[in-house]
Structure 1
């Protein structure tokens, strides 16, 4: 059975003064083109695992759908790299209106544009979220990292986990930080997961796009291994999201809604 996360490649490895051939596990990166009601919506570069969740989460994040039951069918053709989506409301999608075809890179930054219209439709102010202790923040991060077997083997994946304050519930991985979140969003939509009192644990940097995705998912606390950007902090404060960054060992920084984090 094909591994959807990594492949073995023969490389040359230099170690302890010796250069020799070796097998190495390399994370997969493949294009996936999404069509909606027969119209090409976009092409993303991703790790080809949990693709239906990725598609659902991405469409929800972009404001095309709000619930999984708005989708009539999703057909994934992995061989060709296409996802064919049919919406139940076939008149509700305007490919020439608010959306356009674009290539979405596996890295964050200038490869993804800031789409204010879909952000306005989907972003939520999170007024209710659980309290979380400092020890729980550190424990959730260490647990996610301990469980990240694919990352340990390849070193090339980002992880996003949905958790309660007491433990990790589900984790999704991808070469793209935003893709990992979309997969997590798609999982929640497909399985009708209650997001009350949930936390997102994240391996990457917190950009404004990542923060907006957390808001669209509907979770009020994000715990990240890396740093936030200035715009991410501003958005977190505006949207009442608790943003915890630089979670390393037994230390971290709280950038917004620190009243939810207790000693």
Structure 2
């Protein structure tokens, strides 16, 4: 699919909506001095995902884009494939259930029995062999300009978001060159990635020239999901795990971490990097507007 790209790097196809109903609520408390405060906190609710007649998993999520989350989760678990035809997606907000229906019959009873709890903050779950399919991954040898990385970081880190509103949440952004395209947030970084995977699957968006930016750690789960999605570059403000780096090197994924201000570290896929800008020419990172703190 040919994306209707933003006309400016500052435009998103999907961006966070901190004011959206049901995503946060105000909670009363006291601060360190005993003074009364009110604080905006992120909502967390269950979403049960079905594939046809089979219940697959119940995920804890903030509740936005449930259809994309369900499709992306199934895609990243190897339960939906590029050639599969989705005939319907039914979401019931009262029951907090989403059912993904496909043209072909599906049976994943054995796969669902084998679960792995992941390191995500909201405790993600993957089914079957975590490494399944990685040996077939062939990531494209696209270039990655450092000027794109600096532009993306500057834009993403100042975008109004639930993180800036309430904290306790992760963000993941699908990017193309210096353009952030789709920005998803959730209590677990795995959910945010799955939402992007679902959006790409539903809109038949190619991955060859994309960059995935995340606010979370670059763990084995994040590397595996990115590689299986076919995205050649994964970047983060946060750090790495050793196994994440090992897998990234195995599949040829460019892994960029600790992106703060003018600095970053590349631990895998260095050959894609094109250093087209002197870091000294990059403006200092602007101070982000703080989260809405306690107000009396």
Q: TM-score, normalization: structure 2?
A: 0.79
Cα distance change on mapping 1:236 and 1:148 into 2, 3 Å = farther
Equivalence for 2:76 = 61
> Any gaps of 5 or more consecutive residues in structure 1?
none
Q: How many equivalent pairs are there? A: 257
The question of whether the paired residues in 1 share the 8 Å contact of 2:51 and 2:101 is answered with: yes
Cα distance change on mapping 1:122 and 1:259 into 2, 3 Å = closer
Equivalence for 1:207 = 219
State how far apart, in whole Å, the 2-side matches of 1:4 and 1:226 are: 28
- Does 1:96 find its partner at 2:93? no
- Does 1:238 find its partner at 2:238? no
Query: What is the CA-CA distance between 1:118 and the residue it aligns to?
Result: 7.3
Correspondence for 1:156 among 168, 176, 181: 168
What SS does the corresponding residue of 2:164 show, helix, strand or coil?
A: helix
The root-mean-square deviation of aligned C-alpha atoms, in Å, is: 2.5
Q: Which has the higher contact order (CA 8 A, sep 6+)?
A: 2
The question of whether the paired residues in 1 share the 8 Å contact of 2:134 and 2:228 is answered with: no
State how far apart, in whole Å, the 2-side matches of 1:72 and 1:106 are: 33
Correspondence for 2:234 among 214, 222, 230: 222
Cα distance change on mapping 1:209 and 1:193 into 2, 3 Å = same
Q: Cα deviation per residue 1:72-121 (whole Å; 9 max; x = unaligned)?
A: 2111112222112222112xx21323223869789359753563167327
Q: TM-score, normalization: structure 1?
A: 0.88
Equivalence for 1:131 = 144
> Any gaps of 5 or more consecutive residues in structure 2?
1-18, 276-296
Cα distance change on mapping 1:121 and 1:201 into 2, 3 Å = closer
Correspondence for 1:112 among 125, 130, 139: 125
The question of whether the paired residues in 2 share the 8 Å contact of 1:53 and 1:183 is answered with: yes
